Structure 1
Amino acid sequence: MRLHRLDITAFGPFAGTQRVDFDELSTAGLFLLHGPTGAGKTSVLDAVCYALYGAVPGARQSGQGVTLRSDHAAPETRTGIRLELTVAGRRLEVTRQPPWERPKKRGTGTTTDKAQTWLREYDTAAGAWKDLSRSHQEIGEEITQLLGMSREQFCQVVLLPQGDFARFLRADAEARGKLLGRLFDTHRFAEVEKRLAERRRATESGVRDGDAVLLADAHRMQQAAGDALPLPELAPGDPGLADAVLGWAAVARSTARERLTHAHCARTAAESLRAEAEGLLGGTRERARLQRIFAEARERAALLEERAGLRSEAQARLERSRKAERVAPALDLRETTEAEHRQAASDEARARTRLPGTFAQDGAAGLAAAARRVAEELGGLESARRAEQRLAGLAAERADLEREERADETVLQDAEEWLAGWEEVRADLQARIDAAQQDAGRAEQFAVQREPAQRRLRAARQRDELARDTEAAQARTLASRERALKSREHWLDLKERRLKGIAAELAAGLVDGEPCTVCGAVEHPAPAQKVAGHVDRDAEERALAAHRDADEQRAEDERRLGLVREALAAATAEAGDAPTSLLAEEWEELERVYDTARAGAARLHSTQEESRRNEHEWERRTADRQQAALRGAARISRRDALDREQALLEEELLRARGDAASVSARSGQLERRAALLADAADAARAAQDTAQRLKDADARLADAAFRAGFDTPRAAAEALLDDEAHRDLQRRLDAWQQEEAAVRAVLTDADTVAAAQQPPADLEAVERAAEAAVRRLQEAVSVQDAAARRCSELDRLSVRAGVAVRRLAPLREEYDRVAGLASLAAGTSADNERKMRLESYVLAARLEQVAAAATVRLQRMSSGRYTLVHSDDRSGRGRSGLGLHVVDAWTGRERDTATLSGGETFFASLALALGLADVVTDEAGGVRLDTLFIDEGFGSLDDQTLDEVLDVLDSLRERDRSVGVVSHVADLRRRVHAQLEVVKGRTGSVLRQRGAG
């Protein structure tokens, strides 16, 4: 990376635009950046860092553009940095402008512009610059990628800040580790340590969980095995836990199987005893059963002998009933026929009582003939009946015509009355519509005027309020300006008084034997003394802080005044010069007439709707009147036709009804007479038929009784039994027969007879013996089942424990491996001889590289006397491997770098900084750094050492590098010809550049 040109505007102490031509300064290879204290030497380096990374180095970095802006800059001048450089073979130009609070272009007050960034690249083929990006994020990523370094690494490697490496030499291992960790980005190795520790805790938790599961299975196996075999005292994580559990499980399974064998033998013996007892119990129960059956059979046989006479009587009664059953069909036929004849005779008598006396002696044939004659007469009245129905319909039609006529008269009267006032109603509606339309037009006009009038009134009220606020803001602004001016004068006065007495302030810090920070002398014969009223740094800084606070308050009051004035101007432009009261009156009058016109316009729609409804009503009334007239003419002709038809029908009915009141009445008389004659004829025929069938049934019954062996039909009827009595009698006979056969079978059975001849059986004693054998077998079966379940449960849990042990084995191996790696990385393992953490080990390697690179320059600066070496010794409870010692060739002894003197510390830290720059550069991918800045205390060196240091810096030109030395030592201005001087003044600092010539 080589810097070419730097433009600084309104940045830090620089009020205007200052330019640095690094190409001219780099011609000599070594150039000096000098100036009085506080002039802004470090601000030049801050500008380089801000151009590249958008932030300044170290503690000065704030990220807020307001703090970077020069207090001396004019309000209209914007802060900006432009840097032109070459990196990775590309010539780039970076321009950055932080956020800026500038005065408004219109009105008073300020406004804030956002931060802006440009990145351009020089196209050698086209010979012109081309834009690459204007995005802050994209430009930051591009610069970081090209340089290969973060902002913190850049500040340590390129800018070499004052005092950092001197502190690095005197720091302990912990502080060195923090700095090296930031520079070389070794947090990933710390993350590896953390990740290994987390993996160790996770795998340890997994092993403990697996051991807990295995112990839980062991306790379940102990419960299954009983208390005969105690479980060893074990805990999760104990060594050999898996082997102990598996060994104990094997012993428990063997013991359970022996118990199962004993239980099986006991069950076999109990089953033999139970079988013997059950056999004896079955034989005893069978003998007792046969003896009981034989005794019961003897009792039933005696009872059958006693009932022998009843059985003979029942058998005879059943035989007579079977004979009478052959006569039963004839008896049923005779009873049915007799009932039908009685019913037919009764029906005939009732039918004849309803007939006139002239038909009392007629037979069935005469009654049927009379019925036919009446039916013929009834058929002749059908035409007259239809004429009578039509006559009734004519009366209904005439009544309908009269109702229609009355309704049409009402319609005509209503239509005439409504149409008589139609013209007046239409004229009134049209007038109302015209008035509403006029109101709608006026409302639209007032609505257009309403919004501007309202805005003008609001603006007038705001104008009055802002006028009052403007007066107050002006008073506050004048007061704050006066305070800011006074505080600035006070600060400048104190600053000038302090500069006059700065010699006394510097002399206060002199110590005999230590070099002066200004001239480098170790003797101080006449140091300056403080006079009365001396101003120290604290007083000046308090005055400066008060001035800045007052100036910020002034800027804030001016910004607020500008905002109020701008708002007042906008409100005045909107409202004009008219008084607010007059505008309010105009607004109220406009609102009143607008509300009146809008209310009138609101009636337009309802009036139009009412007009349309009245138009439709006029059309309907006119149509109703015409239709009513047409219906009236049709009714006249219809009424005449109905009169003619009615006269013809009345003449026909007069002939047909005879002496009856109407044709319908005559038809009813004939229908009733025909029905009575037909019923009487049917009843007479039925009575004759049933009488003949009754005679036939009597003859068949007498013949059937004689054939069945009965003297009379009555005797056969008395011997006949109904179904229920017959079934009951048959059941009794069957039961007697079955009982006799069953008794005979029992009394003749050989087994029963043999059992009856034996002594009575003692069943209770045999049952007690059998129950005892069953209980013994149940106990043996229960013991065997429990032993079998114990063996099965132990086998299942043993298999489960074996699976758990096999699954836990790789987890234990992983834990052992991860725990070893974690303890090795953390420095707690016995294999880690120096007890170094992984991050410390990496940092120690980097420190060793830095020490080797720094030694090359340190030996030259010290004329071969000093050499930097890296130490792995552990210091107290600190880190191991981050020790840094210096070897003195004059004494041949190795000592800590904290024992170096002031001058020795300077060139040792300078050598360390240059060595660190080389190592970090290689770490960043070998990016070439052609421009370096060294901000160190050269005043602590004697002339010979200063020459040697400058020779080392001058030797950097061999690699085509340019080195800028930041110092205010006067001797350097004589030795280094290329210079960049920072000159401070009351209006800000300026830069003066001088080349090597």
Structure 2
Amino acid sequence: MKILALRLANLASLPGPLELDFTAAPLRDAGLFAITGPTGAGKSTLLDALCLALYGSTPRLRQAPVRDASLPDVEGETLNTADPRTLLRRGTASGHAEVDFLGRDGRRYRARWAVRRAREKASGRLQAAEQSLRDLDDDRLLTTQKREFDRLLPERLGLSFDQFTRAVLLAQSEFAAFLKADDNERSDLLERLTGTAEYSQISIAAYRRAHHAKQAVDALQARLADDLPAEPEARAVLERTAEATQQALTHLQNQAESLQARQRWHDDDDRLQQAHRQGLAQQQSAEAAWQALAQQRADREWRQLIAPRRHALARQAALPGEIATLEATHAETQQALDAAHSEQSNAATTLSQAEQALTDASNARRQADPALSEAREQAQRLATLDKQLADLDTTRQQQQTRADALAEAYRQASQSQQARQRQRDDWQAALKRLVGTHSRLDEARQAAQQAHDNAAQRQLALGELTSRWQEFGRTHLAQHRLAEQIQTHQASRDQLLTDGQAARQRLDQAEGHLASVSALIERSRAVRSDSVARLRENLQQGEPCPVCGGRDHPWRQQPPATPEAAQLAAQEAEEARQLSDARQARDTAQQQCDSLLGEYRAVEAALAQGLKEQDETDRRLASARSALEEHPLYAELAAVSEAERDAWLHAQRDTSETRRQRERQILDQLAHAEAELAPLEEALTQGKLTLTRLEAEKASADKQLADVTQQLPPLREQRESLAQELAERLGDHPTPDAWQQQLDARQESARQARDQALAKQHSAEQTRQRLDQQVTYAAEQLDRLRQEQASLNQELDTWRSAHPKLDDATLTRLLAQHDDDARAEEQRIGAADQARQHAAATLAERRLALLDHRHGQNLIDDETEDEGESALLTTATEAEIQRRRKALDDTQATLEPRLNAAQQERDDALHALRDDDRRRERQQAGQRELDAARAEYRRWGQISELIGSADGKLFRRIAQAYNLEQLLEHANLHLNGLSRRYRLVRGGSPLGLLVEDHDMADERRSVHSLSGGETFLVSLALALGLASMASGELVIESLFIDEGFGSLDPQSLALAMEALDGLQALGRRVGVISHVQEMHERIPVQIQVEPLGNGTSRARLVNT
């Protein structure tokens, strides 16, 4: 993976547009470049733009709160602080970030993130961010959809967001804190750096699962204890009570059922009697409705008589109106015919006048044709002259513009030529100053190179001398510290010998006491069984007991049921206590002896190791002193006092470095001057040629301008003369086309008038013929209707005389009645007849049902039995039924409270029994749940015991120990490439770190003993190791390091620069973000971010 280009506009403090092309010089040739600028200028915004274009977010935004934190925007809108759109500059309508990169498949891609406001105005509402991915090799747009972009980009780039922030944006500063942290802090940092927080979550989850499982067991046990079923005896009582209450309830329910049967008979009688009354009322109502339709029944008979003649009667009534209407229509049609004759005569006159007007217009059109042709020809010549004039004027303006442009180009070229001459003179003067007393440039360059090499060699020798002197100092200091440790161990050993002897004496005393107590107890137990009763008989009030020593003897007056057992238990308890105390004292003394013995052995081992290390340290000190004295510059160092040697070495190295840099600067200036002079000489030669060419082109342009200017006046005079002749010929007409249009319009208007008159005459003729036909048809229709009227009058008069009772009013009313009304009346008569018959049948049916219901109930006595069925419907029978009903109600009222009480007693007994059943079922189910909960608790308890903790620390430290092992494996590979002296190893604690120094016989040192430069070196190796873990086998060719250099001293900074040079030597392009001035001076290619004020900065690429 390799970053090829970065572009941005209107992000944070950078308005842009800004483009950083890593495929073009100087970034293409720079393996190491710096992003510089003061704090807050916007250096990190470049990395934000890189992440925005690729992932639509930044590491800083991912850490912002996503809730309860917002920023105000335009029109009262707010934005969440984690929203990447907050990076859009205030007061701008749009912004974007764009990255070109080389993917894992070797193809070039372009990722783009853009945001804009509505209507492209700074006051518009922010729209949703847009992301797109393009294949640059095929110039093919892959996607513009966010979800598809999020899927495609990691596939093409080879890294997810988290992997990118670890593999490309190196967390060197976080690893500096990682080195100094304790195990807990280191596990937290390692978890965050590697993105493996799931192990803490698993640890917390295991702990919570075990805790919840324990709570579930406790809750089930408490629930079962509060819900115990009845004992067997109580259960038997419940069952007997339930059986007795059920028998009593059944007896009362049988009585109630008998009463309910009698109650149902009375309810049925009431229902049947009510139905009988309703049937009687319905029969009377249907009969009254039938009688009310007497008139309608009479009309039905007349309608049946009139039906055969109904059509003839209706036709006789309608004919007078039809005849009157037709007579009026005939008169109106005759009047219209007379008007049509007059209209036809007028149309003929109008047609004659229109044909004459058309003839006149056509003659005028033919007479104007010759003049029109001449006018048209003159207008064509005039248009040609106008075009020639316009073309010449355009050519003159173009020639004038070209002449002016050539003059301006000549002026600018002259100024550029003069500037280049001044630059050449300046560089020649600078080169002369650099050459100085040397006769030739080559001699000056060789002298500067020789001085530079001498200074560099002395710098290396001083560095080696410093290393040997420091090694000698460290070894000497180690020897002194080791002697102090040996002395301390010897003193500790002597003290432990004294303490051990005292502890041994205490152990012997405790063992003797334990033996005496044990023997005494054994003798007491041997005689106890025979003397307990005798001792109790001899107890005296207020005197001490010979066994326990107490003066209160409760068992003497009221001895227990088994006094020997109770007193024996008290005696054995006291003996057990004494024996336990003796054993505890013996065990304590034994533990003290064991502890002191362990400490003594540890001190002995440490003392032996110290003596061994002292011999090794003496050997190393002699070797270091020999190496120091053999160094070529030791004589100079020996001339300086030991207290001032460190300062002398530092000053000598600074002096050598200053001399080397000065000579390096001279060499660079010589090369730069030579590189600048060659193109300047070439540019001066080209400038002379350009001035000559521009001068010749300007002279040619001035001549062409003069020629065009001379052609314009005669052409304008010719045009004015021709325009005057054309105007005289046209007269009031503006153009020949307008003249011809007027003549054509007059002719066309006359033709349209002639056509309209002809059409009007034709229409009048058609109207007259149509009205003639209508008058004839109306007369024929009148004769036919009059004949039909006479025939119908004769036929109907004969029929009326045969039915004299049918008067005119009835006939008129029935004829006027609508067919729907007649049918509705027929339906009402039929429905009334049907209802009358149905009511009679229903009444008979209900009477029979009531009689059948009352038979066999002893409602009538022997005297009224002869009256037949009618006796069952009398008032006396009704009274007897009511009396029986009242007696039944009284009996039911008495039985109901008894039945309710029995029901309640039975329900209470069953409820108690069923409640006990449910308790038993719940106990069984709860016991199964408890067994399952206990099994679950055992399972999670075992897991929690291994990895669970409330804060996730236990499993996190186990998992991060593995991650640390992997990290160190990758980091040591990079550390070996940066410096072969050091190697990182684990030690001291589960997550402890040590540094193995190969230059000091693989001595393992604490990471806290590292200098600033060494700390940076190790931190950078760890950051690169993390990047390798994150990227897997993907080759990362672009790296960015943000911060971490401000706290380095000059010597540490030099070591850091050597490490960065080692990185670029491995083929990686490294970008360093820092505001440290010393780094700016050592890195020539820089992206300088300069604040301009008002929250605006400018970024520019420089090569110093």
- The alignment's TM-score, normalised by the length of structure 2, stands at 0.34
| Higher alpha-carbon Rg | 1
Q: Which has the higher helix share?
A: 2
- The alignment's TM-score, normalised by the length of structure 1, stands at 0.37
